[in-house]
Amino acid sequence: MPSFDLSLREENVGVIPPPLGVAPNFVDPPSLQHIILITNIILPLVSALFVILRLYTTGFIICSVGIDDYMIALAWLLACASSSIDSLLTRYGLGHHLWDVPFSTFNGNFLKFAAICGTFYGLSIMFSKVSILVLFLRSLPQRPKNAIYATIAVVVLYSLIGSFHWLFDCQPLEKFWDLSITSGSCIEWSKINIFSGAMNTATDIVILLLPIFMLRKVRLPRWEKIGMVLIVMTGGFVLVISIIRLKTTADMAPNPDITWEYVHNGVWWLVY
């Protein structure tokens, strides 16, 4: 976890000391909160259009709704929940420098809601990836199905670890979000975030390559083939975002000013 000065717990003292020559500002601090709020409104609405288009296509054009369609709908709902909590975090300092956030506002609130937000986000990514892989199972030939099942297992495993790691990061559990607890210990959760990001990038590469190798030997109905091509095109875009997100996550890890630095990283997480 980032290093905080736990002796500073008054209302008029920031969570971390400011840099040399900088005075804390609790009245009108520099803010990136507008970026968070706008992003958390626009992206769920844009993604809703794609989800509706997919469900309309499978439900009314192809007339073949599968479990992958229900999964993508669930992934969208979980993403909306994550975005809502992400916006709520602005009440507890997100978007401000950590030295401009009163300790009493941050402590016991920010990290707790951030953990819940991360859980919804991780599960959303998991169901989104699995929905694509289940679509491959429904549409692609029998021979490569073992590879798809193996990819599903890997996605589910690392997603659950990344989504619920905060339950096991600290002993006692409350130490994760309550900085006033000085006893016990915590593991470095930023390393888990980097691990999850690396696994997301790796599985994005697999999901991108699977249909490229398989579609050459498959005859599919026209609408299904169009859908597969669109998934491959989207997969290339997602892979680029995944690589950028992994880099920003790694760059953010050593910086204790998490409420400010998260915004630059979080935008890529939301786009992903």
pLDDT in tens, 52-64: 998 998 888 888 8
- 156-172 tens-digit pLDDT: 999 999 999 999 889 99
pLDDT at 98: 96
Highest mean pLDDT, choosing among 117-131, 134-148, 215-229: 117-131
**Nearest partner of 26 among 34, 38, 18, 36, judged by Cα:** 18
Instruction: Answer whether 79's CB lies under 8 Å from 50's CB.
Output: no
pLDDT at 38: 95
**Nearest partner of 24 among 107, 103, 109, 92, judged by Cα:** 103
- Whether 221 has a pLDDT exceeding 80, the answer reads no
Dist. CA 111–CA 163, nearest whole Å? 14
> Considering the chain, what percentage of its residues have pLDDT values greater than 90?
53
Lowest mean pLDDT among 33-42, 86-95, 105-114, 239-248: 239-248
Domain ranges of the chain: 33-271
Between 92 and 232, the more confident residue is 92
- Whether 4 has a pLDDT exceeding 60, the answer reads no
pLDDT at 159: 95
For the chain, the average pLDDT equals: 85
Q: 33-271 in CATH: which number?
A: 1.20.1070
Dist. CA 87–CA 81, nearest whole Å? 10
Dist. CA 150–CA 249, nearest whole Å? 27
Q: What is the mean pLDDT of residues 225-254?
A: 73
pLDDT at 271: 66
pLDDT at 216: 64
- pTM of the full structure: 0.86
Dist. CA 71–CA 132, nearest whole Å? 9
Between 203 and 272, the more confident residue is 203
Give the number of residues written for the chain: 272
- State how far the alpha carbon of 264 is from the alpha carbons of 85, 99, 195, 244, 245, in Å: 17, 18, 19, 11, 10
- Whether 7 has a pLDDT exceeding 60, the answer reads no
Give the model's confidence band at 223: pLDDT under 50 very low, under 70 low, under 90 confident, else very high.
low
Instruction: Answer whether 47's CB lies under 8 Å from 140's CB.
Output: no
- Whether 48 has a pLDDT exceeding 80, the answer reads yes
